[in-house]
Structure 1
Amino acid sequence: MPKTPRRHQEDLASLFSVAFSALNQELHQRLNELGFGDIRPMHGFLFQGLIPDGATAKTLVELLGISKQAVSQMLDYLEERGYVARKPHPSDGRGKLVVLTEKGQAAIKAKESIYSKIERRWGEIVGPERLNMMRSDLKMIIESINEGDLPQKLRPTW
């Protein structure tokens, strides 16, 4: 595997990118081992928009910052595989509410368990106090950039 040029090994953008890639790769490897191999990274961002009570496709478009067609294609893919279901909207007779199925909820629980294990292992590497400080510092930076709040869109942008 080619090595990262030395000049890029310590800048924050590269370190964040490599850490995120490692986290995502391990997550999806473990999800695959648990029978959720058809879930892709983008699906996780969509799942977050469905917790806890579901969402409309329009809400997901706004949340993810992608086209209605892209959201519709993802929903079709996930519905065909049993992760989500489209149900009549309780207050809008013409609308549909997308909700997680039992399989979708099981995938979310598996993801949370995997993330917890990864974070514990990272805490063993740097120490739990430093990991909590890193989490706190990142949250503070993000809130500062976003005027005191976390961003509303969940999709990573690049």
Structure 2
Amino acid sequence: MSDLDLVSLLSTSFHTLVDKLHERLAELGFRDIRSVHGYIFKYIALHDGATGIELADHLGITKQAVSKIVDYLEENDYVLRKPHPTDKRGKIIVLTERGQLAIEAKEKILNEIEQHLIYNIGAKRMQMMKDDLANVICEAYKRTSPFKK
């Protein structure tokens, strides 16, 4: 498999790890969570709640699409719409206890996955890989084209 190009290796490894995450979440009773839900949970947790417009801007999707996703999450007891504290007409979306438990489960699973990788490749190589990937990300934001020097 090492004869694959870098993008294919990164993409395949990403999907493999995300699949493992979702497999473990399902085992813990969170089989109805999808990747987009994680982005929503994280944003809500970091900001102590969010409006639909904020989530739409963050995800780069329409407010209508966010509304459908939030409806699904609310039906499955991950989030709750509450009156906005400063906008009488608005709603703020907050995590429920189940939503918070899902975040905690995700963090625990990601830690387990990382520990498994450290066991297989070693702590030094893991840190080198993380540093290299962080550098790739930083470089991507410094230039308009990744191919210019």
Instruction: Please give the TM-score of this superposition, normalised by the length of structure 2.
Output: 0.89
Q: Distance in 2 between matches of 1:136 and 1:64?
A: 26
Per the alignment, in what secondary structure is the counterpart of residue 99 of structure 1?
A: strand
Q: Distance in 1 between matches of 2:109 and 2:8?
A: 24
Q: Distance in 1 between matches of 2:37 and 2:65?
A: 11
Matched, 1:72 2:54: no
Alpha carbons of 1:147 and 1:91: their partners in 2 closer, same or farther (altered >3 Å)?
farther
Tell me which residue corresponds to 1:100: 95
Alpha carbons 1:27, 1:111 under 8 Å: kept: yes
> 1:10 Cα shift?
2.3
Please give the root-mean-square deviation of Cα atoms over the aligned residues, in Å.
Answer: 1.7
Q: Distance in 2 between matches of 1:141 and 1:111?
A: 25
Q: Answer 1 or 2: which has greater helix percent.
A: 2
Q: Distance in 2 between matches of 1:19 and 1:28?
A: 14
Per the alignment, in what secondary structure is the counterpart of residue 51 of structure 1?
A: helix
Per the alignment, in what secondary structure is the counterpart of residue 92 of structure 2?
A: strand
Residue identity (%):
50
Matched, 1:29 2:27: no
Matched, 1:41 2:35: yes
Matched, 1:12 2:6: yes
Amino acid at match of 2:99: G
Instruction: Please give the TM-score of this superposition, normalised by the length of structure 1.
Output: 0.84
Per the alignment, in what secondary structure is the counterpart of residue 94 of structure 2?
A: strand
Tell me which residue corresponds to 1:154: none
Q: Distance in 1 between matches of 2:68 and 2:77?
A: 14
Per the alignment, in what secondary structure is the counterpart of residue 114 of structure 2?
A: helix
Tell me which residue corresponds to 2:131: 136
> 1:144 Cα shift?
2.4
Task: Show structure 2 runs of 5+ residues with no match.
Answer: 144-149
Paired residues in the alignment total: 142
Alpha carbons 1:87, 1:98 under 8 Å: kept: yes
Per the alignment, in what secondary structure is the counterpart of residue 4 of structure 2?
A: coil
Correspondence for 2:115 among 104, 120, 142: 120
Runs of 4+ in structure 1 off by over 4 angstroms are: none
> 1:131 Cα shift?
1.1
> 1:9 Cα shift?
4.2
Alpha carbons of 1:25 and 1:93: their partners in 2 closer, same or farther (altered >3 Å)?
same
